Amino acid sequence: MRLTKFGHACVRVEHDGVVVVIDPGSFTQREAVDGADVVLVTHQHPDHLDVEHLRAAGSGGAAIHTIGAVADEIRAQAPDVAERVAVVAPGDVLDVGVPVRVVGEKHAVIHADYPRIDNSGFLLTLGDQRVYHPGDALVGPGEPVDVLLAPVSAPWLKIGEAIDFVRDVAAPRTLAVHDRVYSEVGLGMVAMHMDNLALGGPDSGRTFVRLADGADLG
């Protein structure tokens, strides 16, 4: 398995010749979708959904799997891209070249006055490794995870919630995503708090890391 972090909430996973890209949004470099076989989109916010990235992925015929609300948004913005969209729902199990389970159905609360939009995360099984991307929600997959892609900065998120999410999922490795909102100083504070509070101590064997754009998880 090769996992590459791209801008903000986007990751690219390569396994057994299959390239899956999750949430290539407005803060994501176009190279993230080069050669993609499959694109998964968790929800419709622009930092997760950029139709120009999806259009670029279409040069290689990449299929797009996403929830109904996102499919509607793609159809409105880019009917040509919508032809490659397959709609999924919470609880679905997909075979996109690797097994994928669809998890959860609502975005985290931003404010009580905003209606909650739909959001579904994706649990990928890559050989003996499970990788989980929750989108913009703090809903775990309900089973062990080897790599958790954990949101660390957002208007809807406070650090205590992020810490508790990482604790609850208890993955051996946690990679910071959704990290474009804070400054480097703020992200350094997140890493400190994760090390102090979320990982279960120095003997737990669990790690938290934030990668530069384009870097691979070791």
Tens-digit pLDDT profile for residues 103-133:
999 999 999 999 999 999 999 999 999 999 9
Residue 108 within a domain: yes
Residue 112 within a domain: yes
Residue 42 within a domain: yes
- Domain range enclosing 69: 2-209
Residue 89 within a domain: yes
Residue 217 within a domain: no
Q: Which tokens in the block code for residue 26?
A: 């407005």
CATH of the domain at 148: 3.60.15.10
Residue 177 within a domain: yes
Tens-digit pLDDT profile for residues 132-178:
999 999 999 999 999 999 999 999 999 999 999 999 999 999 999 99
Burial pattern 55-83, b for ≥16 Cβ within 10 A else e, equals bbbbeeebbbbbbebbbebbeebbeebbe
Radius of gyration of the chain from its Cα atoms, rounded to whole angstroms: 16
In this prediction, residues 180-196 reach a mean pLDDT of 94
Q: Distance between CA atoms of 210 and 133, rounded to whole angstroms?
A: 15
Residue 216 within a domain: no
Burial grade of 172 (CB within 10 A; 0-12, 13-18, 19 or more):
middle
Total domains in the fold of the chain? 1
Residue 218 within a domain: no
Model pLDDT, residue 203 = 78
